[in-house]
Amino acid sequence: MSAVIDTHDHSHDQDHHHGPAKGFKRWLLTTNHKDIGTMYLIFSFTMFLLGGTMAMVIRAELFQPGLQIVEPAFFNQMTTMHGLIMVFGAVMPAFVGLANWMIPLMIGAPDMALPRMNNWSFWILPAAFALLVSTLFMSGGAPNFGWTFYAPLSTTYGPPSTTFFIFAIHMMGISSIMGAINVIATILNLRAPGMTLMKMPLFVWTWLITAFLLIAVMPVLAGVVTMMLMDINFGTSFFNAAGGGDPVLFQHVFWFFGHPEVYIMILPAFGAVSEIIPAFSRKRLFGYASMVYAVGAIALLSFVVWAHHMFTVGMPVAGEIFFMYCTMLIAVPTGVKVFNWVATMFRGSMTFEAPMLFSIAFVILFTIGGFSGLMLAIAPADFQYHDTYFVVAHFHYVLVPGAIFGIFASAYYWLPKWTGNMYDETLAKTHFWMSFIGMNLAFFPMHFLGLAGMPRRIPDYALQFADFNMVSSIGAFMFGSTQLLFLFIVVKCARGGEKAAAKPWDGAEGLEWTVPSPAPYHTFSTPPEVK
């Protein structure tokens, strides 16, 4: 029981009395949700830098036409590894880290419900990614078939390292499923007395729904990679037409996992932004209940839209129409959320610290990504957009200002709580503006490239695409290098500096307000009054 009710914050324990082994052992064996959340965040940022380095290789190669820096085979390995590392190594563990840190604090729980499993969930990940990255050094190189690893490209023509890649994916899936079970068990069993489900902060709600999504789709991914494993090593023909299999089956099973997966990467960001915007607008969140139902609707609809990734495989017209309209339907609950965020800011007493800047950029740029997604949902139009840079532009507009800006906003918002110190606001705003400009420079021209017909996943291109690609690469290098500034800001904040107030955002920019405390804004019936 001691592990379960261990509410002591170990982050300040004196390790030097016990020698260096004690210090390392504390991190290795910890069951403290704050320690584990911190390890997830450090791990995910490390993966973010590694995946970002691979993106820099891609953008350096595409800086001008012709083959100059890397071989086409290595270019394909970079696109594949960049996608896998960013999705499974950077974005998902970052949100799990935020969940570990904040959910017990937000619901009044002493820790996560299953602290030892929590430790195990984390430590599987470094092993899984060590296995994945090690494929770069194997004969035949790393996986080179894109992060969606379509069969038979991956099963018949993939490098020998594909089997290691499959085992790495299995380990990540095990970690995700255990993390999700832990989140659900914690939220359903350890809430403080009186905190009903409809009084939970929205970040907790979005994570509860995300955890159910994870448990629903991770076994599907495990199934599809197991079928790949059998096709490669045991002579089956699940995806091999010559043996009676069907390559399109792979796409159906993969995207039945893959589409809910993209919502797994964005829902926790919705939750975080729904905490941050009310705090800096000095108002309650507009339409709390509708936000909860909207998240639930998005999660349910995410299961019936998977084949919009497959409009070009030759499915029946009735199928195309069904998936087209279902995809457009997801815009409705998403639009509800955007409306509620804007309504929350409307006539609020807003201040624009770094968390709020990232959150506003999130709302605007995520909406742009949503509109390009609506364009891709139109089946006949998708025949033109499919496999062009327009698709790359779309999903980077959803994931970079969506998931990643959501993570940055959360980090700045909660850093004072985590460290007890205030970060350097001027540096943080510099980080925001450089990220914002770099990100738009990198990804906006890709819309034009795609509409002009430039295909994805190629190391070389025709001359007419040269100018936009140069702009894209400059923006990408600007965005990438700026993240080192973020590292500096966080380390500087963790090591000391100005002590944070008990409620660090109350007196922002000299405004004196009585604001509802961070635990759920919506439980207060009266609006905040000016002191």
Q: Which of 120, 123, 147, 150 is flagged as catalytic?
A: 147
40 has catalytic annotation: no
Note if 82 is an active site residue. yes
- Of the listed 154, 206, 334, 419, which one is catalytic? 334
Of 34, 59, 82, 394, the catalytic one is 82
CA–CA dist 424, 316 (Å, integer): 56
Distance from C-alpha of 78 to C-alpha of 58, rounded to nearest angstrom:
7
The reply to whether 259 belongs to the active site is yes
Active site includes 337? yes
Describe the chain by its helix, strand, coil percentages, rounded to 5. 70, 0, 25
Per the annotation, the verdict on 309 as an active-site residue is yes
Catalytic-residue membership of 275? no
Among residues 34, 308, 447, 522, the one annotated as catalytic is 308
Give the up-direction half-sphere exposure of residue 100: CA atoms within 13 A in the CB hemisphere: 29
Burial of 153: CB neighbours in 10 Å, binned 0-12, 13-18, 19+:
middle
**Catalytic entry in 30, 155, 175, 206:** 175
The packing angle between helices 354-377 and 405-419, to 10°, is 150
- Which of these is catalytic: 27, 101, 255, 263? 263
**Is 456 a known active-site residue?**
yes
Q: Find the catalytic residue in 274, 302, 410, 419.
A: 274
Residue 444: CA atoms inside 13 Å, Cβ hemisphere, count?
Answer: 11
Burial class, 321, CB count within 10 angstroms (exposed 0-12 / middle 13-18 / buried 19+): exposed
3-class DSSP string for 119-162: HHHHHHHHHHHHHHHHHHHCCCCCCCCCCCCCCCCCCCCCCCCH
Residue ranges of E strands in 360-413 = none
Instruction: Pick the catalytic residue from 35, 61, 231, 261.
Output: 261
Backbone φ and ψ for 299, nearest 5 degrees, come out as -65, -45
Q: Which of 10, 252, 456, 503 is catalytic?
A: 456
Catalytic member of 111, 275, 320, 382: 111
Of 80, 121, 176, 281, the catalytic one is 176
Q: In 446-470, which positions are buried (b, 16+ CB within 10 angstroms) versus exposed (e)?
A: bbbbbeeebebbebebeeebeebbb
Is 147 designated active site? yes
Q: Structure tokens of 367? A: 């909406």
Known catalytic residue at 175: yes
Is residue 503 part of the annotated active site? The answer reads: no
Catalytic residue selected from 170, 191, 337, 394 = 337
CA distance 495 to 341: 34
Q: Which of these is catalytic: 33, 34, 170, 259?
A: 259
Catalytic residue set? 82, 111, 147, 175-176, 259, 261, 263, 274, 308-309, 334, 337, 456
